[in-house]
């Protein structure tokens, strides 16, 4: 299996199950034009987030890491009438691009973009939250998980992206801050009696990585 094969399979999945969407494609194009890193979730991963939010009837969604708003659009489109999404972004330039993309996609009125360090902003987020999507720096993932758990309702979900890092998470010789943050997060999840969780490796156009999905039991 090669990166070329993974990408071909992703493209097959997109054609079969994730139809072309002008607003989402425009959001990626605008992010590229702004010189932002090409690290948004893939279309099939965006749709997974959308389906998870719909499955649990999420009315309140929290996103940590907005980037250009691509995943934000997927999540906001899952909200029912009266639903709300709060997304936290550190970089003002990214937040500006995201706001334009959200408005162009017709979901801007559903989304509250808050600018600053996520750990500074999270105490001001009101719960309960039905679904939290964490897609930010891995170093702070242990704290992001703890804050997401504090805000979550019973039956809520916490989804954390980029948890495998091309297998680095299982390479015990790798002691970088990023990888140690991922391991510490998983240790906290495993020791927390109020949750149940699993993690999945993913391969595709974005390479080899993975998702951790946490169910809040109580």
Between β-strands 207-216 and 152-161, what pairing exists: parallel, antiparallel or unpaired?
Answer: antiparallel
Task: Using DSSP, state whether 93 is helix, strand or coil.
Answer: helix
The number of residues making up the chain comes to 218
For 163, phi then psi, to 5°, come to -105, 0
Return the percentage of the chain with pLDDT > 90, whole number: 99
Tokens of 82: 């009266």
Q: What is the mean pLDDT of residues 24-32?
A: 97
Region 197-213 average pLDDT: 97
Q: Which of 93, 89, 92, 128 is nearest to 111 (CA)?
A: 89
pLDDT band with cut points at 50, 70 and 90 for residue 218: confident
Question: What pLDDT does 144 receive?
Answer: 98
Question: pLDDT grade, residue 100 (50/70/90)?
Answer: very high
pLDDT at 1: 76
With a CB cutoff of 8 Å and minimum separation 6, the contacts of 44 are 10, 13, 14, 17, 18, 204
- What's the pLDDT band for 46 if we cut at 50, 70, 90? very high
- In sequence order, what are the beta bridge partners of 157? 131, 215
For the stretch 109-130, pLDDT in tens is 999 999 999 999 999 999 999 9
CA–CA separation, 8 and 5 (whole Å): 5
Q: How far apart are CA 27 and CA 46, in angstroms?
A: 13
Using alpha carbons, list the distances in angstroms from residue 38 to 18, 34, 68, 129: 19, 11, 10, 28
Confidence band (pLDDT; 50, 70, 90) for 204? very high
**Strand order in 207-216's β-sheet?**
111-115, 84-89, 60-64, 129-134, 152-161, 207-216, 195-204
Half-sphere exposure of 29 (CA within 13 A, CB side): 7
Average pLDDT, the chain: 97
pLDDT at 166: 96
**Residue with tokens 């970088």, as numbered in its chain:** 176
**Are 93 and 30 within 8 A, CB to CB?**
no
| Residue pLDDT, tens place only, 72-84 | 999 999 999 999 9
The Cα–Cα gap between 188 and 199 comes to: 14
Which residue in this structure is represented by tokens 């010189």?
A: 35
pLDDT of 37: 95
Share of the chain above pLDDT 70, in %: 100
Give the tens place of pLDDT for each residue, 173-194.
999 999 999 999 999 999 999 9
What is the bridge-based pairing of β-strands 111-115 and 84-89? parallel
pLDDT value for 127: 95
């Amino acid at each position: 299996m090669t990166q070329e094969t993974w990408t071909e399979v992703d493209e097959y999945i997109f054609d079969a199950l994730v139809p072309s969407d002008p607003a989402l494609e425009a959001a990626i194009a605008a992010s590229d034009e702004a010189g932002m890193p090409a690290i948004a979730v893939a279309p099939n991963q965006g749709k997974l987030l959308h389906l998870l939010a719909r499955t649990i009837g999420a009315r309140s969604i929290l996103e940590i890491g907005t980037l250009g708003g691509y995943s934000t659009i997927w999540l906001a489109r899952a909200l029912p009438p009266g639903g709300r999404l709060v997304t936290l972004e550190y970089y003002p330039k990214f937040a500006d691009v995201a706001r334009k993309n959200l408005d162009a996609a017709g979901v801007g009125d559903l989304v509250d973009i808050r600018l600053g360090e996520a750990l500074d902003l999270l105490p001001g987020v009101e719960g309960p939250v039905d679904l939290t999507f964490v897609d930010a720096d891995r170093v702070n993932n242990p704290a992001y998980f703890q804050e997401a758990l504090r805000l979550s309702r019973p039956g809520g979900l916490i989804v954390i992206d980029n948890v495998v890092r091309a297998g680095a998470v299982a390479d015990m010789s790798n002691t970088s801050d990023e990888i140690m943050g991922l391991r510490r997060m998983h240790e906290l999840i495993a020791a927390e009696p109020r949750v149940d969780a699993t993690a999945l490796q993913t391969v595709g156009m974005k390479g080899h990585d993975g998702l951790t999905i946490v169910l809040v039991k109580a």
